[in-house]
Amino acid sequence: VTVRREDYAAPAYWIDTVDLSFDLDPVKTRVLNKMRLRRNPDVPAQALRLDGEELNLARVMLNGAGCSFKLDGETLVLENLPEGNEPFELEIFTTCAPEKNTQLMGLYVSEGTFFTQCEAEGFRRITYFLDRPDVMASYAVTLRADKTKFPVLLSNGNLVEEGELSDGRHFAKWVDPHKKPCYLFALVAGSLVSRNQRITTRSGKEHLLQIYVRPGDLEKTEHAMNALIHSVIWDEARFGLPLDLERFMIVATSDFNMGAMENKGLNIFNTKYVLGSPATATDVDFSNIESVVGHEYFHNWTGNRVTCRDWFQLSLKEGLTVFRDQEFSMDMCAEPSARAVKRIEDVRVLRTAQFPEDAGPMAHAIRPDTYVEISNFYSVTIYEKGAEVIRMVQTLVGRDGFAQGLKLYFERHDGQAVTCDDFIQAMADANPTSELARQLPQFKRWYSQAGTPVVHAQAAYDAAQRSYSLTLSQSCAPTPGQIQKEPYLIPVTLGLVDATGAAIPLQLGSDSPALGSNHTLVLNETHQTFTFVNVETEPVPSILRGFSAPVVLDIELSDAQLLTLLAHDSDAFNRWEAGQRLALRLALTAVRAEGAPPAQPLSDAYLDAMRTVLRHPQLDAAFKELVLTLPSETYIAEQLDVVDPQRIHAVRETMREQLAEALHGDWEWAFDAHKNNGAYQPDATSAGRRALAGLSLTMLCLAARENGSPVWPGKALQHFKDAGNMTDRFNALLALVSSGQPLAQDALARFHALFKGDALVIDKWFALQAGAPDRGGNILPAVRQLMKHADFQMKNPNRARSVIFSYCNANPGAFHRNDAAGYVFWSERVIELDAFNPQVAARLARALDRWKKLAEPYRTAARESIARVAAKPNLSNDVREVITRSLAE
Ligand code: ARG
Ligand code: ZN
């Protein structure tokens, strides 16, 4: 069934209080749900229809007496409720089977511990309820369980009572002081230990912060706790948003469909985003932990205090909260250059994952109009593009204006379930003279239209007039269900530099004020010309600085102009972008060439520029590593109308090898200059040094593959053995594996032996092998072999992803095979996963989203595999929606 945004209707009943009692048992858990409800006087009188899923209904009582009810499918319907607006009590007794819950939605068991996941629609798997975010209630929760097996009993809010029961059982009662929608409900029961931290915030209030993990994992929670403390301080300092709870808990589980969940006062996390010690987690892991801890904490205001009216508004909380976690990570950087690195990394995610989504069959606006299964819309569009839209708001109203807008948003809507319109209206009202307020309806097209706009820039310099005119035009290709697009409001931040790299002062018209060297133009028409005056020499334009809008910038810059920007642009983003454009141009030329791909796709000018960046005395290591990393195969594929993934892979590998050999001496210098920087610290500067040393080592092993010298592979193995932290160890292993060195087998075996039993590290071991560069079709057989490994577990999402997704979603050169075997493997795994975990299956189903762009024989083979999945009876809604949209014309 398709759900439509326009069909929104307020609920016919409100639920004011919920009193839940759980008798926890993995096989059969009994749930007693006592609710106080009343009719919503604003809605015509009608039956009460409560959502339920896979529940066994034992009893329903109305005001303490039996009553009539019926089941309509899985919906519990009560037709004869008292008339009038007086509250009434409903008591519903059900049971469920947590141990058999392989979907990991609702109440489930992971390694002997009970967890819940309710967002978006999992609460209905716990009890009958109005499972929608605009119904907010006060919760009291009593948990009863065996005391030895489940010594820790947690739920939202404050612990008000606990004690012993007969038969070795015990109980705990929790009361949440805040009203909440049911998707924020959580409980945890099991054998866990906690790291505890008391903090006093600016208001003088005391809070208890806790991180619960399995015994043995406690020493891996220090970084997460630091991130949590910093998050609390940051949200109060930057936005005046204090912690509103006496107790804030994070609990880690190794069985989790997504990253983490912001349940009120009781966040539940995938272990991947909590556990990290220098010996077991990489710099990337450390930085992910910081941003996910921040993300979930920031939801406490943007998501929980103010929530979504309906799930079409998901980006209201997700786009805004991703924006907030991005800003948090940037503010945690000591150096301004590290902020730019974070920005580049975020844009890279957007362009390699969100742009393809926005151009494919699953394209949707950040506020969609329809969905079949809401789980499919926890997407890079809702999250990452949503965050870019919020960032544009900040660009248009300024940093202070944004903080003012957020303040007004909470003044108006605290405690409410609202819409994206409510948010943007508060931003506009707080900034009445801004471009946002003046052109609000046009800005809102970012919410309603799908697809990535293309901004075409054309420049002309008039030496006689000393003027430089820039014509910007915009367009957006049709997306499913949206043929015609109206022009967007696009903030275009730019600067002009001269051939020496010096900034040119900006002035639009001789009577206009000087604008400095960096200015944001607002493009709001299909076609617009901006003329800069007093421009002494022909400038090089640096457009879309800081990636000021989520668009494709189509601009013809000569190699010389790009080299100028790469060498001199004061905007670090565009400096990096210039290098990417140069590499992309060379890659596309090689991919499009007739016959076999050229042996040396990179030009001397490009190689010289890369050497200059690598050896640059001022640039920092993290930035160098980004510049010297070639555009990904996925990003290259996005530029083409017809995609041959194997050819792209071959071209990019050739480019990597050429870069490795041409800069051999420079890589040697870079490795020696950046390796081993003392005791491990996860800060951005040290992480950047490790990243550059790691890339250098990979390059040196790649070159060794060509010249046959055993020196660098030997050094890599030694570095692997001697490594003092996981980042260095993993990078050394990656260097060996990704260059196809025979020594890689030895290192892989040692790595497994060393970390046997540490699930998150073993995930890396699987992922590295399934994601390795294909050489003569060797990866698919390796993947099939990995699935037979004793440590492989299909039912654990992290493990399934580490093998199957690393191959199907992240290794295009190996997945797209001439013999279609990769696609057959994919269809088998989608069907296999769908039988027990539809959410994970639906993510895998996205791997062939872009099949229509594939060259033959891939295209036909891909369609056949998709059709094979489509033909399977009893597919979940999740997979059915993805597959149907994929095959639609
Ligand atoms: N709200 C969570 C977050 O942004 C994501 C939960 C999604 N869960 C799901 N089953 N779809 O961190
Ligand atoms: Zn979120």
Each residue's pLDDT tens digit, 315-333? 999 999 999 999 999 999 9
Is residue 387 in contact with ligand 1, taking CB distance under 6 Å? no
pLDDT tens profile 4-22: 999 999 999 999 999 999 9
Integer CA distances (angstroms), 531 to 470, 521, 525, 535, 544, in order? 6, 11, 16, 10, 17
Query: What's the helix, strand, coil split of the chain in %, to 5?
Result: 45, 20, 35
Question: Tell me, what's the pLDDT at 573?
Answer: 98
**Nearest CA owner, ligand 1 atom 3:** 261
Q: Give the Å distance between the CA of 385 and the centre of ligand 2.
A: 13
pLDDT tens profile 637-687: 999 999 999 999 999 999 999 999 999 999 999 999 999 878 999 999 999
**Nearest CA owner, ligand 1 atom 9:** 119
Structure token pair of residue 641: 């109308």
Cα dihedral 108→109→115→119 (10° resolution): -30
Distance (Å, rounded) from C-alpha 611 to C-alpha 686?
Answer: 22
Is residue 878 in contact with ligand 1, taking CB distance under 6 Å? no
Catalytic residue among 290, 296, 357, 435: 296
Looking up tokens 């042996």 gives 599
3-state class of 301 per DSSP? coil
**Nearest CA owner, ligand 1 atom 2:** 261
Q: Give the Å distance between the CA of 663 and the centre of ligand 2.
A: 42
Is residue 260 in contact with ligand 1, taking CB distance under 6 Å? yes
* Stretch 798-818: mean pLDDT: 98
The backbone torsions φ and ψ at residue 373, rounded to the nearest 5 degrees and listed phi first, read -130, 115
pLDDT tens profile 384-419: 999 999 999 999 999 999 999 999 999 999 999 999
Integer CA distances (angstroms), 556 to 482, 522, 560, 601, 603, in order? 29, 21, 11, 20, 19
CA angle in degrees (0–180, nearest 5) for 174-175-180? 120
Is residue 119 in contact with ligand 1, taking CB distance under 6 Å? yes
Q: Counting atoms of ligand 1 from 1, which one is nearest the CA of 378?
A: 11
Most ligand 1 atoms within 8 A of CB, residue of 107, 261, 273, 374 to mutate: 261
* Stretch 848-855: mean pLDDT: 98
On average, the pLDDT of the chain sits at: 98
Whether the predicted pLDDT of 889 surpasses 90: no
What residue type is assigned to position 589 of the chain? T
Residue of 519, 491, 499, 522 lying closest to 507 (CA atoms): 519
Question: Tell me, what's the pLDDT at 677?
Answer: 73
Instruction: Evaluate whether 759 touches 719 at the Cβ level (below 8 Å).
Output: no
Is residue 847 in contact with ligand 1, taking CB distance under 6 Å? no
What residue type is assigned to position 801 of the chain? R
Most ligand 1 atoms within 8 A of CB, residue of 116, 184, 231, 258 to mutate: 258
Is residue 262 in contact with ligand 1, taking CB distance under 6 Å? yes
Residue of 839, 828, 867 lying closest to 851 (CA atoms): 867
Distance (Å, rounded) from C-alpha 141 to C-alpha 18?
Answer: 8
Whether the predicted pLDDT of 532 surpasses 90: yes
* Stretch 365-382: mean pLDDT: 98
Q: Give the Å distance between the CA of 112 and the centre of ligand 2.
A: 27
pLDDT tens profile 595-629: 999 999 999 999 999 999 999 999 999 999 999 99
Is residue 235 in contact with ligand 1, taking CB distance under 6 Å? no
Instruction: Evaluate whether 865 touches 399 at the Cβ level (below 8 Å).
Output: no
> What's the ipTM?
0.97
* Stretch 518-542: mean pLDDT: 98
Is residue 837 in contact with ligand 1, taking CB distance under 6 Å? no
Q: Counting atoms of ligand 1 from 1, which one is nearest the CA of 296?
A: 12
3-state class of 578 per DSSP? helix
Is residue 120 in contact with ligand 1, taking CB distance under 6 Å? yes
Q: Give the Å distance between the CA of 296 and the centre of ligand 2.
A: 6
The kind and range of the H/E element at 370 are strand 370-371
Instruction: Evaluate whether 513 touches 429 at the Cβ level (below 8 Å).
Output: no
Lay out the sheet containing 266-270: strands in order across.
Answer: 193-200, 206-213, 247-253, 266-270, 260-261
Q: Which residues contact 871 (CB under 8 A, 6 or more apart)?
A: none
Q: Give the Å distance between the CA of 261 and the centre of ligand 1.
A: 5
% of the chain beyond a pLDDT of 90: 99
DSSP string, 752-781: HHHHTT-HHHHHHHHHHHHTSPPSSS-HHH
Distance (Å, rounded) from C-alpha 53 to C-alpha 181?
Answer: 18
DSSP string, 824-843: HHHHHHHHHHHTT-HHHHHH
| 296 part of the active site | yes
Confidence of residue 95 (pLDDT cuts 50, 70, 90): very high
Most ligand 1 atoms within 8 A of CB, residue of 267, 302, 378, 383 to mutate: 378
* Stretch 570-579: mean pLDDT: 98
Q: Give the Å distance between the CA of 565 and the centre of ligand 1.
A: 40
pLDDT tens profile 211-269: 999 999 999 999 999 999 999 999 999 999 999 999 999 999 999 999 999 999 999 99
Whether the predicted pLDDT of 815 surpasses 90: yes
Q: Counting atoms of ligand 1 from 1, which one is nearest the CA of 375?
A: 11
3-state class of 427 per DSSP? helix
Is residue 507 in contact with ligand 1, taking CB distance under 6 Å? no
pLDDT tens profile 753-778: 999 999 999 999 999 999 999 999 99
The kind and range of the H/E element at 285 are helix 283-298
Question: Tell me, what's the pLDDT at 607?
Answer: 99
Question: Tell me, what's the pLDDT at 676?
Answer: 84
Cα dihedral 782→783→788→792 (10° resolution): 130
Distance (Å, rounded) from C-alpha 467 to C-alpha 496?
Answer: 12
- DSSP code at position 109: E
Confidence of residue 479 (pLDDT cuts 50, 70, 90): very high
